[in-house]
Chains A and B, each alone.
Chain A
């Protein structure tokens, strides 16, 4: 029997990072923020969607989608036909698909858009996608998935996964048949997840579909504000943050002794983490708008949280990916080998975690700086950025604290 832990699958979690790593990371984040405030450019340099060098190549989308449709059927076959013991499906879903989408999208851009099997459905919208719907369906879908992974009583059970896949499949098929592929752009949680992460990749896709090589900063700058975008990013950040403290002894104890029951208190914890991240963001953006003399900033800085969320994701899932990824391959392919849990040592894991959090912070600070000097009144641009830096430093130190304490 393979254990089920906070991450949906996996039988171990990471040790706390050494105190020195936590302070070094926090110090680096602070120094970079102050330097950025004083030394970075005074006029916006990023050109977002227009940037980059176009590549004269179109990837074979149809073939990719057929292959992923077959892989999805293979996973479904594991769920429906194989016994619960040593079933590969939870590993394929949580490790290879969910966690694996992060490195795949970081390297190759919006890969799930390319390989999404739902894009094999015809793009014949019966209605136009309502503008105000935006990313909200994706935010809801990502909340549901992370709830299943982190809170539900049996995240790796066949029944749990089948119920999720049934609901997700029905909603996505219905959305696509009603609104065409526009639904998948903003409504499919996994495509949105992969596309947001993919904006940090050197390989990008312009809004018109051209494949480009571009700086990750221009990639980030190309994220277009839309309703629900802030919520989507906050779900990614908040749920990963919840994952970080859900293993802390005080929380484990509260979950199993509290009056709400495990799922009840877990739901409260997950939603509080997401809400807390969103509240902090809204408050700091409100302050930045007040100081910078500009209104309506809230949706226009969501892109700068994307690298911070990716930093959290990498920090929390790195060891799971390299260790449980082996189990996914062993179970799915029926290999005779054993999982080597020593493939990465505690020191390597801690270094990767701190580097991921600090790198995410630096990229977020630079992205927010460029957007600030574009949107805020020039005379107030520096002062107006202070709440943004406070916001990011809080997320970063919060992330390091989670790694250190939980």
Chain B
């Protein structure tokens, strides 16, 4: 009987210390992703950098392997945009929207970053 009570106590403690969150796995329940004018369901994000702040806040963009990702980035200062893993770089001119588009042909999580200000703009989760 004492052992049973102990086991129950352990289970309670365990469930208490490890609840598994549901975000990231169900599109729409996770972090906000800017969706401007996506071309028929293609992953797309529009990001603005102003005064060292990223809008919308750095989140995840869910991408299926093989899809074409389109990113539109506007920065208030000159900088360089870099998509890790795919090794795509693009100059950012102050106040001018820069668009990049590429096929996501690798799986994993990849950061999209600015080189000078070292801001993570968004992370691409390619499944």
Assess whether B116 is interfacial by the CB under 8 Å rule: no
Which residue of chain A has the shortest Cβ distance to B14 in the bound complex? A393
Given A15-B127, A253-B58, also A38-B17 (CB < 8 A): no
B20 x A12 contact (CB < 8 A):
no
Among A102-110, A296-304, A306-314, A339-347, which stretch is in contact with chain B? A339-347
Assess whether A293 is interfacial by the CB under 8 Å rule: no
Interface string of A1-41 (1 = CB under 8 A from B): 11101000001111110010011001000100110011000
Given A386-B6, A405-B24, also A3-B111 (CB < 8 A): yes
A386 x B10 contact (CB < 8 A):
yes
Q: A164: shortest Cβ distance to chain B, in Å?
A: 20
Q: Total number of A-B contacts with CB less than 8 angstroms? A: 122
Main secondary structure of the interface of B (DSSP, over half): mixed
Interface size on A, residues (CB 8 A): 46
Q: How far is the CA of A69 from the CA of B82 in the complex (A)?
A: 37
Which of B10, B20, B111 contacts A22 (CB under 8 A)?
B20
Which residue of chain A has the shortest Cβ distance to B22 in the bound complex? A19
Q: How far is the CA of A342 from the CA of B105 in the complex (A)?
A: 10
A247 x B123 contact (CB < 8 A):
yes
A14 x B120 contact (CB < 8 A):
no
A19 x B87 contact (CB < 8 A):
no
Chain B contacts to A: CB under 8 angstroms: 2-3, 6-7, 9-11, 13-14, 17-21, 23-25, 30-31, 52-54, 57-60, 82, 84-85, 87, 89, 106-111, 113, 118-120, 123, 125-127
Main secondary structure of the interface of A (DSSP, over half): helix
Q: A265: shortest Cβ distance to chain B, in Å?
A: 14
A15 x B125 contact (CB < 8 A):
yes
A5 x B84 contact (CB < 8 A):
yes
B108 x A249 contact (CB < 8 A):
no
Residues in A neighbouring B6, C-beta threshold 8 A:
383, 386
Residues in B neighbouring A262, C-beta threshold 8 A:
118
A-B contact pairs, 21 of them (CB 8 A): A1-B87, A3-B82, A5-B111, A12-B109, A12-B110, A13-B108, A13-B109, A13-B110, A26-B20, A249-B59, A250-B31, A253-B59, A257-B53, A341-B85, A341-B108, A386-B6, A390-B14, A400-B18, A401-B18, A401-B19, A404-B20
